[in-house]
Structure 1
Amino acid sequence: MSKDYLFHNRNSPILFSIPHDGDLIPDEIAKNMNDSALQTPDRDFYVSQIFNFAKDFDISLLKTNISRFVIDLNRPPDNYSLYPGQSVTELCPTTMFDESPIYKTEKPDSSEIERRIETYWKPYHQIIKDKLEVIKQQHGFAILIDCHSIKSEVPRFFEGRLTDINIGTNSGKSCGDEIIQSFMSVLEAQSRYSHVLNGRFKGGYITRHYGKPEEKIHAIQIELSQINYLDEKHNRYDYEKAEKLKTVLIRAINSLC
């Protein structure tokens, strides 16, 4: 396995994908980035730590170590917009969430973008594709959970404070009704966290591309508001808050199968 990825191969019918918790930027790319970008401020901080209960439930987990500033693994390779009419970041982002520039001068051209697709994007997606096929062969169905988090307030993308737990199924197209209803019933039974299904975040490329319930492959995106497990000001992991959040997530995910 490449140093660019971490893959724990287990036997559950569930696969966790974590495409935005990496901070690795290769030297040849980093040399042309601004210092602020090298701090990877838009990373899904510690989301892999939130979902590290995968090992306790025999769930496979795939995580990239590569920063989303190098290439966004949750964007389509042709860079079409997943949210037409709304502000979005590119396949190879050129601005941060606060719209400040990532690069000092020269942005990646088409040949460099293609190189990053071949080097980083395709291997990650090949692992997802192959593992989902294996899971389906073993269990008769597969469930992909694409795991994300974002700051509670990002004016570029949404007004005010974000809902605590945002669930996306591409407006019902990526996951069967019975499965998502089981998941949402757990969220509805608790009152600590606000939650929404197919609100601002309906699912990125990973959810939309792999979720094919008619073929018994279901995909769900989870987008967590970081205020529920971080000291957001300093991007520090708050163990006490995180454990409370994990308890709810474990209950919801265990309801799936």
Structure 2
Amino acid sequence: MLITAAGPCPAFELFEPARQTSPFVFCSAHSGRAYPASFLASTRLKGTAIRRSEDLFVDQLFDFVPGLGAPFLIARFPRAYLDVNREPYELDPAMFEGELPAHVNSTSARVAGGLGTIPRIVAERQEIYAGKLAAEEALARIEDIYMPFHETLAGLIERTVEMFGMAILIDCHSMPSTVRALPGGRRPDIVIGDRFGTSAGARIVAAATARLSALGWDVRRNKPYAGGYVTERYGRPRRGVHAIQIELNRALYADEANFLPHHGFEAMRESLRAFVGFFTAEMEAELLRPAAAE
């Protein structure tokens, strides 16, 4: 439970269909915007600067998913507070007062960049904290929120495999419109990440790419985002668990400077609804029905 200025708020929520009819599981790990009051009191950032790391409105863009028969796990805590798309203990010892566990990973590239499990910076490399954070506080966030979040996600995937013999995890994110340009200066509308072919079957990734492209989006694969810890941890194609990360260009549906949806929001949402509907039906027909007929 998060204690915000507006009152208590669940750290994360799971929205499920009345009956799961699809082997898909959806997750939004970075769209949380319920900022704990104690966290806001500890940050050096003023106004909306602390919100620069949010995956703007991704939870709302995909809120139709349970209606199509798939569960949707949504983080309510902000990424600047805790990042569950990291290993559980990717921590920078220089950020903390007190003792950290011996198993902390303090040498990852993400920690070096200030983007560990407890981030040091938000987007645009702005430092979050005015001083050091108590190690006990960091560990409490991990134990009280990170671990239950992943236990819930792992449980959803396991249940889905038991029901359907497989599971396809769609990890939903957004990217800033200033994302690094591709050769020729183009910035993609959507990036699909599959950890360079290791987290999902090639046929599944190809189908997702084709469906999104057919809807008119400029879709790229793995560049500049190949997928984070969630995709890496859960994607096990040989075991029947496939994980794909989807990154949406925020400028397509939101005013990034003012943190507001704009005129393109409903069009993006309806396009995503069409994508999910076609993609899930295609995958169910191709991957489930032949097995059921054997």
Instruction: State the TM bucket, normalised to the shorter chain.
Output: 0.7 to 0.9
C-alpha contact (below 8 Å) 1:230/1:241 kept by paired residues: no
5 Å-filtered alignment, 1:212-231, equals 212-231=236-255
Query: 2:50–2:128: 8 Å Cα contact kept in structure 1?
Result: no
Worse-matched range after superposition: 226-235 or 57-66: 226-235
In structure 1, what is the Cα distance between the partners aligned to 2:187 and 2:211?
A: 20
Between the aligned partners of 1:162 and 1:254, the Cα distance in structure 2 is 29
Asked if 1:74 is matched to 2:85, the reply is: yes
Q: 1:64 corresponds to which letter in structure 2?
A: A
Aligned to 1:100: 126
The alignment-based identity, stated in percent, is 28
Equivalent pair of 2:192/2:244 in contact (CA under 8 Å): yes
SS at match of 1:256: helix
Distance in 1 separating the partners of 2:114 and 2:227: 13
| 1:255 maps onto 2:279 in alignment | no
Q: How does 1:1-257 map to 2 (within 5 A)?
A: 3-10=10-17, 11=20, 12-33=22-43, 34-36=45-47, 39-79=50-90, 87=113, 89-103=115-129, 105-154=130-179, 158-159=180-181, 162-190=187-215, 192-238=216-262, 239-243=265-269, 245-247=271-273, 249-250=275-276, 251-257=278-284
Structure 1 segments unaligned to the other structure (5+ residues)? none
Checking the alignment, whether the CA contact within 8 Å between 2:64 and 2:273 is kept in structure 1 is no
Q: Could you give the per-residue CA deviations for residues 127-156 of structure 1, whole angstroms, max 9, x where no partner exists?
A: 0111111100000001111000022115xx
Q: Contact 1:229–1:245 (CA<8 Å) still a contact in 2? A: no
Q: CA deviation at 1:214?
A: 0.7
Deviation for aligned residue 1:41: 2.5
Cα deviation for residue 85 of structure 1 reads 11
Structure 1 CA distance, aligned partners of 2:111 and 2:36?
A: 33
Q: In 1, are the aligned partners of 2:35 and 2:78 still within 8 Å (CA)?
A: yes
Deviation at 1:256, TM superposition (A): 2.9
TM-score when normalising by structure 1: 0.88
Kindly tell me: are residues 72 and 84 of structure 1, through their superposed partners in 2, closer, same or farther at Cα, counting changes over 3 Å?
closer
How far 1:78 moved relative to its partner?
2.8
Letter in 2 for 1:202: A
Distance in 1, matches of 2:114 and 2:120, equals 11
Larger Rg: 2
Secondary structure at the counterpart of residue 255 of structure 1 = helix
Task: Tell me if structure 2 keeps the 8 A contact 1:15–1:144.
Answer: yes
State the AA in 2 paired with 1:205: Y
Give the 3 Å change call, closer, same or farther, for CA 173–65 of structure 1 in structure 2: same
> Structure 2: how far apart are the matches of 1:255 and 1:83?
37
Q: Work out the CA distance in 2 between the residues paired with 1:86 and 1:95.
A: 11
Q: Give yes or no for contact 1:184–1:252 (8 Å, CA) kept in 2.
A: no
Letter in 1 for 2:234: Y
Unaligned runs of 5+ in 2: 2-8, 91-104, 285-294
Aligned-pair RMSD on alpha carbons? 2.5
Q: Displacement of 1:76 after TM fit?
A: 0.9
Give, in whole Å, the separation in 2 of the partners of 1:43 and 1:198: 21
What are the Cα deviations for residues 32-61 of structure 1, in whole angstroms up to 9, with x where unaligned? 113246752321111111111202201100
In the alignment of these two chains, the number of paired residues is 252
Deviation string for 1:72-115 (max 9, x for gaps)? 01111132577679956221112111112211x22324333221
Residues 232-241 or 125-134, more deviating: 232-241
| TM-score (normalised: structure 2) | 0.78
